[in-house]
Amino acid sequence: MYYPFSWLKNLLRIGGFYVIVILIGLYFDALAIAIAFGSTWLLGFYSWHMYRFNRWIWHSKKMTPPKVPGFWEHVYEGVYYIQRRNRRKRKELTRMVKRFREGSEALPDATVVVDSNACIVWCNRLARIELGLRWPQDSGRRVDNLIRHPKFIEYFHSGKYDYPVEVPSPSNVQKIFEYRIMPYGEDHLLLIARDVTRLTQLEQMRKDFVANVSHELRTPLTVLNGYLEMLPNTENVPPAFLKKALGEMRSQSERMQNLVEELLVLSRIEASSERVFEKPVNVPQMLSAIQVEANTLNKDKGHQIDFDIDASLKVYGIETELRSAFSNLIFNAINYTPSPGKIVVTWNRQDGHAHFSVKDNGEGIPEKHLNRLTERFYRVDKARSRKTGGSGLGLSIVKHVLTHHNSKLEITSEIGVGSEFSFSFSSELSVQNPSTGKLEKTN
């Protein structure tokens, strides 16, 4: 606490001290000696307190000042008051910085602060994850040395930040980021990177959807329009031809309906943000239901279908997506294997991974087609695909489902021997330990 009259009091004390010294000197008739001795004592007294004050300021771990008399008490109290005030300010500043950092960490975008020399001053956690920055190792490094895409460098040095720029992520080229730069503080820039991969994918999906649908629907619509032009003159049309026309129109309309439904399924899978690590899927039960459907589809084919299923092997995932993947592979084997054939469906554990495969003894697929089988509307034999009612989307659906579940479709085939479509899920997706599988056969 500051006392307004502390200095005056101390001057009075010093004056009183010298009055006493002078009186003693006069009494003993040694005024000069008394004054010299008193001054020396006073100098030593203040030197000692200066030493203690210096020790307290620079070396003492205690913030509380020591007990001292007189003038020095006010000096210590003044310094102590300033220290407490600065400490409160530091605490307030620390709380403000903490709140700022917590708010920045909660931002849904990667955020980086750079100075006038393009050196990184600070970045949030999302920037470290998405942009591959390391903190504090990258503090002081130039941001254009870490994000080296030419389009970003041109944008960064142009100084024109009215519009953002879209550039692939430096840590994952499959992701597209929208970079936006804004002036921040004094000679600082705030770089915000937003993940627009989903928006880019949705836009591309929209374009692909329009292009693919317009192409794939052209043939069935042409067939329907051709027959419909004949219907007004049905009196001159033979009954057999009319029956064939109605059957063909129904077949083409069903093909269009299946095509639209599969396109919607594919779009829904590509746009899905559902987490795959939360819900367990009873795959054996799912495969049992698919087996019933396969038997119905197999009535006219007459294939021998063997299901080798581990009844205890369950995984985490999205049930609707996994059902689409499993059923597409099984139904494709039934549709494209010449009658009568043999198909083996396997679901078991291999090397700690949940493994699924569909193996047939069909005609096989030429090697040049294998890498393109998962493309949309890609067909090895277009005439045969139209005959079986295939849309060319089944394996594309399987590919996107497996990508969502961190897996990949493996295809092996040999002409005249057969084909095998398989994939595996990592051990982290397994729900429980394996047990003896169960072999089921249907003919």
pLDDT tens column, 272-285: 666 667 788 999 99
Most confident of 227-231, 342-346, 391-395: 342-346
Mean pLDDT of 167-190: 81
Sheet with 353-360, side-by-side order of all strands: 410-414, 418-425, 353-360, 342-350, 304-309, 438-442
DSSP string, 128-141: HHHS---TTTTTTS
Is residue 207's pLDDT more than 90? no
Closest CA to 441 of 328, 330, 343: 343
Closest CA to 338 of 391, 296, 372, 388: 388
pTM over 0.75: no
pLDDT at 357: 94
Indicate the pLDDT class of residue 22, thresholds 50, 70 and 90: confident
Task: Say which residue, 23 or 387, is predicted with more confidence.
Answer: 23
Q: For 93-113, what is each residue's pLDDT tens digit?
A: 878 777 777 766 777 788 888
Q: Residue 64 carries which side chain, given as an amino acid letter?
A: T
DSSP string, 176-215: EEEEEEEEETTTEEEEEEEE-HHHHHHHHHHHHHHHHHHH
75-85 b/e with 16+ CB inside 10 Å = b? Answer: bbbeeeeeeee
User: What percent of the chain lies above the pLDDT cut of 70?
Assistant: 84
pLDDT at 441: 42
Mean pLDDT of the chain: 80
Count CB-CB contacts under 10 A for residue 191: 25
Asked if residue 175 lies in contact with residue 197, where contact means CB atoms within 8 angstroms, the answer is yes
Which region among 51-65, 219-233, 373-387 has the lowest average model confidence (pLDDT)?
373-387
List CB contacts of 138: < 8 A, sequence separation 6 or more.
120, 123, 146
Q: For 57-70, what is each residue's pLDDT tens digit?
A: 777 777 777 777 66
CA gap 170, 172 in Å, rounded = 6
Geometric angle at alpha carbon 52, from 51 and 58, rounded to 5°: 90
